[in-house]
Every structure is written in structure tokens, then in C-alpha cells.
Structure 1
Amino acid sequence: MNFPNYLSLARILAIPALVAMMLAGFRGHEIVALAIYVFATLTDAIDGWIARRKGEVTVLGQLLDPTADKLLIASALICLVDLGLVPSSAAIIIIGREIAVTGFRAMASSKGINIPASAFGKAKMGSESWILGALVLGPNYLGKLIMGGAKVGLWLVVALAIISAVEYFIRFGPQVISQKAE
């Protein structure tokens, strides 16, 4: 196992601590939760970069990295729904998109088709990281105005999730459907 894979594993191992801190009741728990979330998000930003730069891309890393991403986002969203900060409909759409696109990419990969991240997909991921971070910090630290902006931003993430999924399916669907598995 190489360093980038350890970073992905660290992200997965940070998730229970994130969930515990998001749902904790002590004063300042949101700050601790945000610190864990930022740590996990930063490991996501650097693990793939290091792997590509050092030529350490592995099959394990190609599995661990997206799995860690999906688990982090889903866990944060589920906690935010539980805390009443995110509507369940938004969480269902975002998590459902992640499952659908991941499954579609796996199907494409089994047929030797690589589906690169699109501009909409990258915009979704970037805005999702920032918006979820703000929501993790919560209204006690952000105030109603900024929290209102974060909630509006969440619907931007939902729109980008839908647009990017539709884009992937339209752009690569015919090729994935028509090509036989390798």
C-alpha cells in the first residue's frame, strides 16, 4: 500500500469521527466536525494528485478513492438531514446521483471505456465540498444569512448533480450500451 492509498484509507477512517462530532451535543462540536471534514476533504484533494505525480496509481487506489469520497459525502449529508439542516430530498438526489454515476462508470470500465470527469462534475464536487463544509459548521457559527446562502448553494449542488449525471448518460450512454464487455 502506498502513501496516496493511506490518505484514502485515512479519509474512510475519519468518517466515524465526523459523524460522532456532527451529532455530538457538546459546545463547539461543530468546530471539531468541520476540522475533521476539512482534513478528509484535503486528503481527497491530494491523494490522487500525489499518485499521478509519482506514478503510484494502483487498482486499490482507484477503488479506495471514489469509495472514500462517496462515503464521506453520504455520511455528511445523512447527518445534516438528521440535524434538520438539509432536506432529505436534496440528500437523496445527491446520494442517488453518486450511486448511479459510480455504477455507470463501473459498467463503462468493464467495457474498456474511460469516463473522465466533466466540467459540470468538477463544479458539482467543488461546490459540494464548500457548501457541505459550511453546513457542517452550522447556524451557531455562520448566522442565519450565511446559512441561508449555504442552503441556496445546496440546491445549486443538486442542480449540478442532476446536470452532470444527465451529461454523462447522454454523452457516454450509447457507447456503453452498444459495446460488449472486455
Structure 2
Amino acid sequence: MRPELRHLPNLITVCRILLVPPTLWLIAVGDFGAALACFVVAGVSDALDGALAKGFGWTSRLGGILDPIADKLLLVGCYLVLGWNHELPRWLVALVLLRDVVIVAGALAYHWLIEALQPTPSRISKVNTLMQLVMVFAVLVSHGIWSVPPALLRALVLATAFTTLWSGLDYVLAWSARARAYRGPRRD
């Protein structure tokens, strides 16, 4: 097997990162059908690079860094642009951003003050990411190819808000408990 193939998942991830600006631009100018196509390609590429990395053992430290960055760039970017265009409630956008800021600030504090952080997403965090993705997908579908019933969109907004709050609280409680229970040497 050619050694270059092991870098394929990272190449796919870089391509996904490069898809973020055109996706956001298409949303901003109201070309929701094309934005939906880019969003779907990004989702498929995320699944593909993950399957290749895990299936063939082509994981790498770089991939472990790039993959979540690509995911966050796409999701946060979509939420910001959809909120700016009044396609999502601004309070939901603020909640999604606040959750991410709290998690990153807490992770950095834990890493600097306690010990090196080995992040592992909780089950509710994975559910929340799925809800956030479904929310963006539903808005893009609704404006791009098929009208999603307003009641369904409202239900998705509420479900996304609920899982966002639950996930953020779960991280704060879990990592606070872990910090209190830590008995090793603390970083100075």
C-alpha cells in the first residue's frame, strides 16, 4: 500500500475546511440550494474521512486537531450567518456560541491549571452536535428545495436549545467534578 494514502483523511478534512467559506457565502447571498449541496458534501466528507481513518488505522495527531476544527468552523459559521440573515433566532445562535465559549474556556483552564486535557465528547454532546446539524440542514432544505412546516422548525429550535443547554451544563459539571477529584500535582 502506498504510504501517501494514510494522509487521505487529512486531505479530505482540509477540503472540508475549504468548503466553509463558499458555503457561508452561499447562505449569505440566499442561494440555499447550492449552500445545501455544499453542506451535504461537507457532511459526507466528514463521514468518509472518519471511516477511512478508523477503518484503515490512518489516524493522526493532525487529523485529531483538524477534524473538530473543520466541524466547528462549518457549524458556528452556519449559525452566525443564518442568525445574521434572521433565518435562525438570534438567541439560539447566542446560546450555541456561549456553550462553545464556556467549553473552550473550561478546557483551557483545566489544561493549564490541573493536567493535560484528553477531551472526550459526552453522549449528550454528540446528540447536541447532531441536533445543531439537523437544525442547519432543515433551514437550508426549507429555503432551498422544500418547505419544512413551521411547527417542525420551531420544534427543532427548541430541541436544539435544550440539548445545547444540557450539553453545556454536562461539560461544566463533569469537568468540575473531575477537577475536584484530581489528586495529582497541579500545574503552576
Note whether the superposition's TM-score is higher than 0.5: yes
CA RMSD in angstroms, aligned pairs only: 2.4
Deviations 1:99-139 (A, max 9, x none): 32234345556623434222211111112212211112334
2:45 and 2:109 map into 1 onto residues whose CA distance is 27
Structure whose CA Rg is larger: 2
Whole-Å separation in 1 of the counterparts to 2:160 and 2:154:
10
Amino acid aligned to 2:172 = F
Secondary structure at the aligned position of 1:116 is classed as coil
Q: Which residue of 2 aligns with 1:82?
A: 84
What is residue 37 of structure 2 aligned with on the other side? 35
How far residue 71 of structure 1 moved from its aligned partner, in angstroms, is 0.8
Q: CA shift at 1:176, angstroms?
A: 3.3
Equivalent of 2:134 in 123, 130, 135: 130
| CA displacement at 1:43 relative to structure 2 | 2.0
Q: Is the partner of 1:53 in helix, strand or coil?
A: helix
1:166 aligns with 2:135: no
The reply to whether residue 96 of structure 1 matches residue 98 of structure 2 is yes
Which residue does the alignment assign to 2:75? 73
- Compute the displacement of 1:17 (Å): 0.8
Over 3 Å counting, the alpha-carbon distance change for 1:43 and 1:140 in structure 2 is closer
Unmatched segments (≥5 aa) in structure 2: 1-5
Correspondences of 1:120-159 after superposition (within 5 Å): 120-139=124-143, 141-143=145-147, 146-159=149-162
Out of 54-63 and 158-167, give the one that drifted further. Answer: 54-63
* Larger displacement relative to structure 2 (49-58 or 98-107): 98-107
Matched residue type, 1:114? Q
C-alpha deviation, 1:140, in angstroms: 6.2
Is the deviation greater in 39-48 or in 58-67? 39-48
CA distance in 1, matches of 2:107, 2:9: 22
* Cα distance change of structure 1 residues 36 and 139 upon mapping to structure 2, 3 Å threshold: closer
Q: Distance in 2 between matches of 1:117 and 1:106?
A: 15
Q: Matches of 1:47 and 1:33 in 2, distance apart?
A: 21
Aligned length: 178
Please give the per-residue CA displacement for 1:133-167, whole angstroms capped at 9, x wherever unaligned: 11123346433x52431232022112111101111
State how far apart, in whole Å, the 1-side matches of 2:23 and 2:163 are: 25
Determine if the alignment matches structure 1 residue 23 to structure 2 residue 25: no
In 2, the alpha carbon distance for the partners of 1:102 and 1:47 equals 24
The share of aligned pairs that are identical, in percent, is 20
Partner AA of 1:151 in structure 2: R
Q: Decide which moves more: 54-63 or 33-42.
A: 54-63
- Long gaps (5+) in structure 1: none
